[in-house]
């Protein structure tokens, strides 16, 4: 399949840190970022729902305002915490990530103005709550517009992240809308939205159920226990829905990223989620006014589920991109070798010999593109002639390949040979060609 996809050569720059450290960082920083994105999106959705319900119930309207106050804080944290995973994504998967961004084009470029507009609408919605109390339709419309943007922006991100995993689709994508029918985009988005509501419900159960929250000041009728059970019920309903959205997400994942390790990781996360769901049900029917020890256990269990799912996401990404990454690394090495060969020929003042002749083997192709700048069959150039090399390594292609891979300086009357960047198999191929060609010349 890799032969049918575009394979660019990479920019051969060293990573700013050890790859394993960067992989740990991208998982941890992304999970922290997505937590506050979920609280932002889920908070905006619940604010809109409770404001609509609150048109006939002043306490529910007040509850909507209290939820809206958390949205503006969480959106700021989401933006700040999004910098780290974005930078690490660029370091580890730059070519894949930016290829997807370029293919979605206008939608990707629109993210910043859309985010800015969503923030402005959210602030306008929160701070005009009392001023537009008599024009509730307008006020709800402002909140609905902000919520719609908060729901749409993650879809752009998810479409891009999904697209970067499957280069075989790059040739068929022409803008953002053409990414939506691709496998797993919409199921993944549905899973995210439901998870956002679940996480927000759990957060709000703790926020409103804490002992220091001034329930009697904010509300006329609602008490702490009622609000806590209401928000826990939201978390329970959304978590239960994940029982449907999760399998849909899993079964629409293309097979190339699947592994038994990933399946085991998912099963562990699901096990923790099932236990948390049972405890959520018990918390929902509990009449206590404030959250207790069971709530903390639920948070720990769902945090474990999130960690397993976040790690599983990384496992899938690495496995899905592996064939393309290997092909891209090979192309990069070919490109570097061609550049080195051109530079060496230019420095030695020689041109390719027999450029129009047919190349009969991979080793000959490497020799012509790289080695001929310094080595000839019939005379000394920058380096010794081919027959002299062959006599030193007669019957020992492994030794010659090892020298080409890690050269140095053997004789004072020749300059030190520079390292030659080739693929592992290419060192052996060019060594065998040199020895065989020298025999043929004799």
Sign of CA dihedral 243, 247, 249, 250: positive
Residue 214 located in a structural domain: yes
Coarse DSSP helix, strand, coil percentages of the chain, rounded to the nearest 5 percent: 75, 0, 25
* Of 267, 302, 321, the domain-final residue: 321
Range of the domain at 414: 349-441
How would you label 246-284 residue by residue, b for 16+ Cβ within 10 Å and e otherwise?
Answer: beebbeebbebbeeeebeebbebbbebbebbbebbeebb
Domain shared by 252 and 182, yes or no: yes
Question: 163 with 182: CB under 8 angstroms?
Answer: yes
Q: What are phi and psi of 352, to 5 degrees?
A: -60, 135
Q: Are 393 and 431 in contact (CB under 8 A)?
A: yes
Same domain, 298 and 395: no
pTM above 0.75, yes or no: yes
Asked if residue 420 and residue 303 are part of one domain, the reply reads: no
Q: Rounded distance, CA 117 to CA 98, Å? A: 24
Nearest C-alpha neighbor of 388 from the set 406, 375, 373: 375
- Quick check: is 337 in a domain? no
**Domain boundary residue among 306, 321, 336?**
321
Structural domain contains residue 310: yes
Find how far residue 295's CA is from the centre of its chain. Answer: 31
Query: Residues 47, 68: contact at Cβ < 8 Å?
Result: yes
Residue 151 shares a structural domain with residue 277 = yes
Residues 197 and 299 both lie in one domain = yes
- Whole-angstrom distance, CA of residue 287 vs CA of residue 72: 31
339 in a domain, yes or no? no
370 and 306 in a common domain: no
Structure tokens at 366: 């490497």
For the domain that residue 433 is a member of, what is the CATH number? 1.10.760.10
108 and 213 share one domain: yes
Task: Give the residue from 302, 321, 340 where a domain finishes.
Answer: 321
3-state class (DSSP) for residue 299: helix
202's CB contacts (< 8 A; 6+ apart) are 231, 232, 235, 280, 298, 299, 302
According to DSSP, residue 379 is labeled S
Q: Taking a C-beta distance cutoff of 8 angstroms, is the pair 350, 381 a contact?
A: yes
The reply to whether 298 and 218 lie within a common domain is yes
**What residues have CB less than 8 Å from 261, skipping those under 6 apart?**
315
Residue 355 confidence (pLDDT): 45
- Alpha carbons within 13 angstroms on the beta-carbon side of residue 13 total 10
Give every CB contact of residue 106 below 8 A, 6+ residues apart in sequence.
175, 176
Joined tokens for residue 249: 């997400």
**Is 276 inside any structural domain?**
yes
In a domain, 307, yes or no: yes
Distance, CA of 56 to CA of 54 (rounded, Å): 5
Q: Does residue 98 belong to any structural domain of this protein?
A: yes
Are 21 and 77 in the same domain? Answer: yes
Residue 74's closest CA among 47, 49, 45, 37? Answer: 37
Are 222 and 272 in the same domain? yes
- Say yes or no: 119 and 36 in one domain: yes
Query: Residues 203, 112: one domain?
Result: yes
Under a CB-based contact definition with an 8 Å cutoff, are residues 115 and 154 in contact? Answer: no
Q: Across the chain, how many H-helices and E-strands are there?
A: 15, 0
Over the chain (442 residues), what is each successive 10-residue block's mean pLDDT? 69 87 96 97 98 96 98 95 95 92 94 96 97 97 98 96 93 93 94 97 95 93 94 96 93 93 96 96 88 92 96 95 88 77 64 51 86 85 89 92 88 83 89 90 72
Residue 31 near residue 307 (C-beta atoms within 8 A): yes
Answer yes or no: is 185 within a domain. yes
Structural domain tally of the chain?
A: 2
């Amino acid at each position: 399949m890799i032969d049918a996809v575009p394979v660019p050569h990479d920019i051969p720059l060293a990573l700013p840190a050890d790859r394993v450290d960067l992989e740990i960082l991208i998982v941890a920083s992304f999970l922290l970022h997505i937590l506050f994105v979920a609280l932002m999106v889920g908070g905006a959705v619940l604010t809109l729902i409770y404001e609509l319900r609150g048109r006939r119930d002043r306490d529910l309207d007040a509850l909507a305002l209290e939820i809206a106050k958390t949205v503006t804080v969480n959106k700021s944290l989401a933006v700040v915490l999004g910098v780290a995973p974005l930078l690490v994504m660029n370091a580890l998967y730059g070519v894949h990530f930016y290829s997807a961004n370029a293919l979605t084009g206008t939608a990707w470029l629109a993210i910043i103005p859309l985010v800015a507009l969503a923030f402005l609408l959210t602030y306008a919605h929160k701070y005009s709550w009392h001023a537009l109390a008599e024009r509730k339709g307008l006020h709800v419309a402002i909140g609905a517009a902000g919520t719609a943007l908060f729901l749409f922006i993650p879809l752009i991100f998810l479409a891009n992240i999904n697209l970067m995993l499957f280069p075989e689709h790059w040739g068929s994508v022409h803008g953002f809308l053409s990414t939506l029918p691709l496998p797993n985009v919409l199921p993944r988005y549905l899973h995210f939205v439901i998870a956002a509501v679940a996480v927000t419900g759990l957060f709000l159960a703790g926020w409103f159920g804490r002992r220091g929250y001034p329930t009697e000041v904010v509300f006329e009728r609602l008490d702490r226990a009622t609000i806590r059970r209401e928000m826990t019920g939201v978390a329970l309903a959304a978590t239960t829905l994940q029982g449907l959205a999760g399998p849909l997400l899993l079964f629409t994942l293309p097979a190339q990223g699947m592994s038994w390790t990933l399946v085991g990781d998912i099963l562990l996360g699901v096990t923790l989620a099932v236990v948390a769901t049972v405890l959520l049900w018990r918390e929902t029917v509990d009449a206590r006014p404030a959250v207790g020890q069971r709530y903390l256990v639920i948070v720990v269990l769902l945090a474990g589920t999130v960690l397993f799912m976040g790690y599983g996401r990384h496992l899938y990404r690495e496995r899905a991109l592996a064939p393309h990454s290997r092909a891209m690394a090979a192309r990069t090495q070919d490109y570097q070798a061609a550049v080195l060969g051109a530079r060496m020929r230019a420095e030695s003042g020689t041109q390719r010999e027999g450029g129009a002749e047919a190349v009969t083997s991979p080793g000959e192709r490497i020799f012509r593109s790289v080695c001929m700048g310094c080595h000839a069959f019939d005379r000394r150039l920058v380096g010794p002639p081919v027959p002299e090399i062959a006599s030193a390594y007669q019957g020992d292609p492994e030794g010659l390949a090892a020298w080409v891979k890690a050269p140095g300086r053997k004789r004072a009357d020749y300059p030190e040979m520079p390292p030659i960047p080739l693929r592992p198999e290419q060192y052996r191929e060019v060594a065998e060609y040199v020895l065989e060609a020298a025999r043929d010349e004799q």
